[in-house]
Amino acid sequence: MTVAIKIENVSKNYGNLKALNDVNLTINKGEFFGLLGPNGAGKSTLIGILGGLVNKDVGRVSVLGKDIISNYRESKKSFGIVPQEVSFDPYFNVRETLELQSGYFGIKDNDEKINELLEALDLADKAEQGPRQLSGGMKRRLLIAKALVHDPEIIVLDEPTAGVDVELRNSLWDYVIKLNKQGKTIILTTHYLEEAETLCDRIAIMNKGKIVKIDTKENLINSIDKKLVKVQFSDSVEDLSDQLEGRNYNIDEENNEIEVEVSKQDLDELLKFINGLDLHITDMNIESAKLEDVFIKLTNLGGGDN
Ligand SMILES: Nc1ncnc2c1ncn2[C@@H]1O[C@H](COP(=O)(O)OP(=O)(O)OP(=O)(O)O)[C@@H](O)[C@H]1O
């Protein structure tokens, strides 16, 4: 397997704040990799270091086998980074913005790629408009197109779908999946955990400047021993509280529904218990753990002490 990015013992302090604290991470070529973490975890700082916008204090980062500092120009070309913040020069229209960006990478006559991007990101009919005439979602699409004009090997998307409508989100992901299938390495940060769960192969969860877990999505989800059993009855569930005492449950009296959380081991016992209730079941659903459960556990967002 070819290594796309190798991050070794990287730290970054802002005054007394440890924005990155001895981060180690290897991402392979062709991976769709998720970098998750709560606000302030250090994701953007790490991405800034990859893109040469933030100087690390210590550590080493190499891209496709080459150090990013000593091979600055080459590594810049390897990356297409879609930043969180949207900003454009108001004097250039959409096409000119992309031409200018191509020129920045020394690419002349980049019409073919620019047209492909305009089509894929549904900007073709906006090509002659200035950034001020674009809606927020369109600006974000332009930001993505701008990051891709030089056909980079590694594409880093820092919360690309924040504030973007469902339709665009889907078309954006279709395009990114296509790029990934062509062999591009994708690194995604997002606060939409369902998005990461659907798209990413491997995921790193960051918290307070550290990577607290790296694993495949499947292993992360399987590490949580939880089943959520939702049952709807035809009759009132008003009197079930007593019988459910001692279990981790919720009762929705309005819809005659109960939700009970159990470990996989206790599932059989719970189903027998529900079956033994003197009630008629109209619907049942058993949910497994989600990436969100893993995230909450590892970042301690749910409170408690793990
Ligand atoms: N230029 C800076 N000067 C001082 N502190 C900074 C600077 N940039 C980031 N920080 C701090 O470093 C920490 C990590 O920030 P970073 O933006 O990397 O987090 P993040 O995981 O990307 O968060 P978010 O999900 O909110 O984007 C935060 O506490 C932030 O306040």
Model pLDDT for residues 213-231, shown as the tens digit of each residue:
999 999 999 999 999 999 9
Q: Fold identical between 3-222 and 227-288?
A: no
* pLDDT tens sequence across 47-68: 999 988 899 999 999 999 999 9
Provide the pLDDT for residue 306: 38
Domain regions of the chain by residue span: 3-222, 227-288
Provide the pLDDT for residue 112: 96
pLDDT band at 2 (very low <50, low <70, confident <90, very high): very high
Q: Which CATH superfamily is domain 3-222 in?
A: P-loop containing nucleotide triphosphate hydrolases (3.40.50.300)
Distance of alpha carbon 87 from its chain centroid, rounded? 22
Single-letter code of the amino acid located at 292: E
65: left (phi over 0), alpha (psi -120 to 50) or beta: left
For ligand 1, pick from 12, 44, 161, 299 the residue to mutate: most ligand atoms within 8 Å of CB: 44
Considering the chain, what percentage of its residues have pLDDT values greater than 70? Answer: 98
For ligand 1, pick from 12, 39, 56 the residue to mutate: most ligand atoms within 8 Å of CB: 39
| Alpha carbons 287 and 217: distance in angstroms, whole number | 16
Ligand 1, atom 7, residue with closest C-alpha: 14
pLDDT band at 164 (very low <50, low <70, confident <90, very high): confident
Ligand 1, atom 1, residue with closest C-alpha: 14
CB 130 within 8 A of CB 96: no
Residue 245 above 60 pLDDT? Answer: yes
In terms of Cβ atoms closer than 10 Å to its own Cβ (0-12, 13-18, 19+), residue 212 is middle
Average pLDDT over the chain, rounded to an integer: 92
Rg of the chain in Å (alpha carbons): 24
Residue 196 above 70 pLDDT? Answer: yes
DSSP secondary structure string, 234-284?
SS--GGGHHHHTTSEEEEETTTTEEEEEE-GGGHHHHHHHHHHSSS-EEEE
pLDDT band at 305 (very low <50, low <70, confident <90, very high): very low
| Alpha carbons 28 and 271: distance in angstroms, whole number | 43
Ligand 1 pocket: which residues have CB below 6 Å?
14, 17, 19, 37, 39-45
The CATH code for residues 227-288 is 3.30.70.100
| Alpha carbons 70 and 66: distance in angstroms, whole number | 8
Residue 155, phi then psi, degrees to nearest 5: -115, 125
DSSP 131: G
CA–centroid distance, 43 to ligand 1, in Å, is: 8
pLDDT band at 302 (very low <50, low <70, confident <90, very high): low
* pLDDT tens sequence across 104-151: 999 999 999 999 999 988 899 999 999 888 888 888 889 999 999 999
Please state the rounded mean pLDDT for residues 242-262: 94
